[in-house]
Structure 1
């Protein structure tokens, strides 16, 4: 069943109201130095064997006349990351073994743990964007009712959701095979992602 935010997104796409469009969305990205964190396999959550989580703090300038969720969606789409959704982050630890994911905070604030139960907790606020390589555990520990996240995926890969020990063996084989995206979801082809996520030699 679509949420109110989903319906709002559909309406904005149909009418163009409150949406910046891809060109303007790119101009709303602020230059930010990436924060990177590598997580080890904790026995349940594999995390990525080589690539770090990338976090851009306050990376989007929101315009009063535009819907913040639409700004983030258009920015991700301008850089080739699609299949976007509007929601929160699940309150149980999970990861994706066959695709990378980007999470952009459109509204509110939430405490999110990345890397599994032995990972690291971040308070994410509106304008923050986290880029998760395949295998990265993530879980929302707490958030206000207004917390709104935009998720999206690069054009290559297949969505899956892994939560259990039974998922591990297949996931350990799949994660290293997920290719480096052609573009950073925030900064495009020249963004930090291509330097931080190098192909295996």
Structure 2
């Protein structure tokens, strides 16, 4: 089990879910992503980063500040994530993503 592997190596605060469909990053903490099930295409490095197809069994370690975004995921795509001991995850969205979301916000007056 990925949680056991991560915790045996002092990576805790594990979670199970997908990867956000918008570019985001953790400014003060590293993150590990293990693919538990399915397949997905993920971009690492922000809007101009590299795209990888990840499948069950793959693991990615992201240094603090690495933008990441899920571009496509099979219906059963399941990710287990964890963080090393230390400060909070401090997740942030990229500026471009924030501006795009504001522009598309239906509550925003034209």
**TM-score, normalized by length of structure 2?**
0.84
CA distance in 2, matches of 1:130, 1:82: 15
Residue 118 of structure 1 pairs with residue 48 of structure 2:
yes
Cα offset, 1:159, TM superposition = 1.1
Q: Runs of 4 or more off by more than 2 Å in structure 1?
A: none
Match of 2:33 in 1: 103
Cα offset, 1:157, TM superposition = 2.5
Larger gyration radius, structure 1 or structure 2? 1
Match of 2:22 in 1: 92
Cα offset, 1:110, TM superposition = 0.1
Structure showing the higher helix proportion among its residues: 1
CA distance in 2, matches of 1:86, 1:111: 17
The aligned length equals 95
CA contact (8 A) 1:100 1:157 kept: no
- Stretches of structure 2 that go unaligned for 5 or more consecutive residues are 96-110
Match of 1:151 in 2: 81
| Deviation per residue, 1:23-78 (Å, 9 max, x gap) | xxxxxxxxxxxxxxxxxxxxxxxxxxxxxxxxxxxxxxxxxxxxxxxx10000000
SS in 2 for 1:113: strand
**TM-score, normalized by length of structure 1?**
0.46
Match of 1:68 in 2: none
| Deviation per residue, 1:72-120 (Å, 9 max, x gap) | 0000000000000000000000000011100000000000000011100
Match of 2:106 in 1: none
> Which of the pair has the greater relative contact order for Cα pairs under 8 Å at 6+ separation?
2
CA distance in 1, matches of 2:30, 2:94: 19
Match of 1:75 in 2: 5
CA distance in 1, matches of 2:92, 2:15: 19
SS in 2 for 1:89: coil
CA distance in 2, matches of 1:106, 1:162: 24
- Stretches of structure 1 that go unaligned for 5 or more consecutive residues are 1-70, 166-201
Cα offset, 1:164, TM superposition = 3.9
Give runs of aligned pairs for residues 126-165 of structure 1, distance below 5 A. 126-165=56-95
Structure showing the higher strand proportion among its residues: 2
CA distance in 1, matches of 2:42, 2:48: 13
